[in-house]
Amino acid sequence: MKKIDKSRVLSEKYLSWMKELKEEHPRYSSSHKYIKDIKMNLLYCQNGLCAYTEELLCDMELIEPKHWSNGRYTTELDNQNLINGDIEHFDCTLKEKQGYLWDNLFMVNSNINCRVKGTKTINPILKPDSTEYDAFKYLEFDDKLNMFKPNKQLSDKDKKDVLDMIETLGLNSNAFKRAKQIKELKEDFEFDLDLKEPHEYITSWKMTLKNLKGE
Amino acid sequence: MKIEYLKIKNYKQFSSLKLDLTYPKGHKKEGQPLDKICIIGQSGTGKTNLLEIIRDKKSDSNIKSIFKKEKTSIYEKIYFSSAEKESKQIIEDKKFIDIRDANSWKLLKEKINNYDTEKSKYTRKLSNKLIYNMEYSKEDFILDMQKWESENENILEKIADDINSIIKKFNLELKIDEDTNSYEELIIKDLSNGNVINYDEVSTGTKNLLSTFIPLKSYNPKDSIILIDEPENSFYPDIQKQLTDLYMSVGENNQLIMATHSPLIASSFEPWEVVELKFDRDNQIYRELYYEGENSIDNYTLDPRMLTWTSILVDIFDLKEDSSSLREKKLMEYLMIKDTIMSMEKGEARDEKIREFKKLSRLLGLQN
């Protein structure tokens, strides 16, 4: 799970609307007029990837700035299947009263949103856009079992919190594709080929590379 | 007769589907119709409808189908086994042969009688020779009889041999004799205690096998198309693995087409023999291609025969996960215990942790 920079704002209309809202937001609705703007701006900030698993959620062309005009995403997305993800409320307790809070929203794989995370309690230790978050500080990757795990250097309490959050955010869910990618890249490394940085699952690859180099 | 091309437009769930059913460039049978085809796809993608289109040789403004016929064959037919229970009615006047209707028993009886008659005739002929020809010995008689038997298949023995190679795994053995007139009269022996059990008492899987394979052997198709819907029904994985070979062994020069949900069945097909139907983003059905660029054997990037079962499930059957969330959780626990052990001093506490680690490792199948 890589760090996400959510300061790259394209959805100016939504953000100015959101900032004007009092403490209590209108009831969250997936058919709200700004939902598409929120989705596409989040995907833009996340490079088209799931905020947690780093799986690609849409065609990269769809997140290009050319689709934006006057602070709104103007291209019609007729087909629901064009984006394989949903808006996720990181802290689901905020959904009821602050459902449109930009800081609390991410785009994630639909499976993570619906089946894995759901309404589980969260710990901000692994919030991907927080200033303190650093994947290498909190996580390690076991490239043989294809699993993220807490960094050994953490305190026992932090290890426990990170472990819980790895599970809550589904960082090791649906990871078969990631395992295949790691395997292929490891072969390239073994054959001393030029290593290209993958777009998807970059964190696991960077950590694998670190393991391979014995760093 | 084999189907080599199918184009469907605006028919049932197919808005536009084209299927090239020939071997690709570079294959030793390049351009010839496929010997066997495995149709897979999510429910609703039209697998059974596709079988029925081929079965009925549909051809109209919506459907264009091209069948390659053998130049001189008089045997060309279409055999069909639906996923439904066997029908016991004899349905006449159909363009295809329903493998599981009751007609096959009539045919089987004819073949048995014919075999018996021919064998008796030949035995009489040789007996006369033995009596009247002084140079013809008893040994010659035995040799001639053996030769005749090797040249004339005893259908009852053949059916029993082929089926028994499979049902032995269920501790069963089949015996068919000339008095058998229906499935209910089959003699099925329970090898664990020697008891004879009735057809009605055998498992659904065994019934499926008997009610499809016995008729097919009776018909002994040649130059024909054999269509089987969901052959895997009620079979354990090890049996599913054998089904393709079993049905391919029936008759001569046939095209076997199966619609299945079984990854194990799909694993016995060459990649160009798999027709995977999928929904596209507009919910239209298309065939997933396993090659890039030109349809040449060198351009295929997936081959079911080379994959593990897990890979088949994920890469071909599009399963999103390769294990359960509990396994995922326990794998993380496994890694955590390992880290803990590495940081512990030698002693009883560490040994206890190692025992815990090894137990979990076994449960996770990591020692396999």
Nearest by CB to B336, from A82, A149, A175: name it: A149
ipTM of the complex: 0.78
Structurally, chain A folds into a number of domains equal to 2
Q: What pLDDT, on the 0 to 100 scale, is given for residue B157?
A: 80
Domain boundaries, chain B: 2-77+221-316, 104-206, 325-363
Asked if residue B174 lies in contact with residue B163, where contact means CB atoms within 8 angstroms, the answer is yes
Asked if residue B258 lies in contact with residue B51, where contact means CB atoms within 8 angstroms, the answer is no
Count of other CB atoms within 10 angstroms of residue B352: 11
Q: CA gyration radius for chain A?
A: 18
- Strand B36-41 and strand B14-20: the pairing is unpaired
Q: Is B337 left (phi over 0), alpha (psi -120 to 50) or beta?
A: alpha
> Do A49 and A83 have their domain in common?
yes
B332 to A116: CB separation less than 8 angstroms, yes or no:
no
On whether residue A2 sits in a domain, the answer given is: no
Instruction: Tell me the residues of chain A between 83 and 142 that have a Cβ less than 8 Å away from chain B.
Output: 111, 116, 142
On whether residue A124 sits in a domain, the answer given is: no
Instruction: Determine contact: B282 vs chain A, CB below 8 A.
Output: yes
Q: Is A91 left (phi over 0), alpha (psi -120 to 50) or beta?
A: beta
Cα B241 to chain center, whole Å? 8
Asked if residue B214 lies in contact with residue B107, where contact means CB atoms within 8 angstroms, the answer is no
> Do A84 and A140 have their domain in common?
no
The whole-chain average pLDDT of chain B stands at 88
Asked if residue B230 lies in contact with residue B261, where contact means CB atoms within 8 angstroms, the answer is yes
Among A104, A124, A126, smallest CA distance to A53 is for: A126
Q: How far apart are CA B355 and CA A108, in angstroms?
A: 39
Count of other CB atoms within 10 angstroms of residue B7: 15
For B215-264, the pLDDT digits (tens) are: 888 888 999 999 999 999 888 888 898 899 989 988 899 999 999 999 99
Domain boundary among A78, A111, A144: A111
Under CATH, which number does the domain B2-77+221-316 receive? Answer: 3.40.50.300
Q: How far apart are CA B11 and CA B61, in angstroms?
A: 10
φ, ψ (nearest 5 deg) of residue A165: -70, -35
In the structure encoding, which two tokens stand for residue B106, read together?
Answer: 């009539």
Domain that holds residue A176: 135-212
Could you tell me which residues come within 8 angstroms of residue B358 by beta carbon, excluding any fewer than 6 positions away? none
The whole-chain average pLDDT of chain A stands at 91
More confident site: A52 or A115: A52
On whether residue A202 sits in a domain, the answer given is: yes
Residue A115 has pLDDT above 70, yes or no: no
> Do A16 and A103 have their domain in common?
yes
For B50-89, the pLDDT digits (tens) are: 999 999 988 888 999 999 988 888 888 899 888 775 555 5
Nearest by CB to A172, from B332, B336, B343: name it: B332
For A14-40, the pLDDT digits (tens) are: 999 999 987 789 999 988 999 999 999
For B290-336, the pLDDT digits (tens) are: 999 999 999 999 999 999 888 899 889 988 778 888 998 899 999 99
A147 to B332: CB separation less than 8 angstroms, yes or no:
yes
> Do A147 and A199 have their domain in common?
yes
On whether residue A94 sits in a domain, the answer given is: yes
Range with the poorest average pLDDT among A101-110, A127-136, B314-323, B329-338: B314-323
Residue B92 has pLDDT above 60, yes or no: no
> Do A63 and A103 have their domain in common?
yes
Q: How far apart are CA A213 and CA A207, in angstroms?
A: 10
> Do A150 and A84 have their domain in common?
no
Q: How far apart are CA A71 and CA A16, in angstroms?
A: 10
Tell me the DSSP string of B231-283. TTTT--HHHHHHHHHHHHTSSBS-EEEEE---HHHHTTS-GGGEEEEEE-TTS
Residue B160 has pLDDT above 60, yes or no: yes
Q: How far apart are CA B114 and CA B112, in angstroms?
A: 5
List of chain B residues whose C-beta atoms are within 8 Å of the C-beta of residue A78:
none
Verdict on whether the full-model pTM lies above 0.90: no
On whether residue A32 sits in a domain, the answer given is: yes
For B167-182, the pLDDT digits (tens) are: 887 788 887 777 777 7
Please give the average per-residue pLDDT across B149-156, as a whole number: 83
> Do A101 and A26 have their domain in common?
yes
Residue B354 has pLDDT above 90, yes or no: yes
Instruction: Determine contact: A12 vs chain B, CB below 8 A.
Output: no
> Do A101 and A149 have their domain in common?
no
Instruction: Determine contact: A149 vs chain B, CB below 8 A.
Output: yes
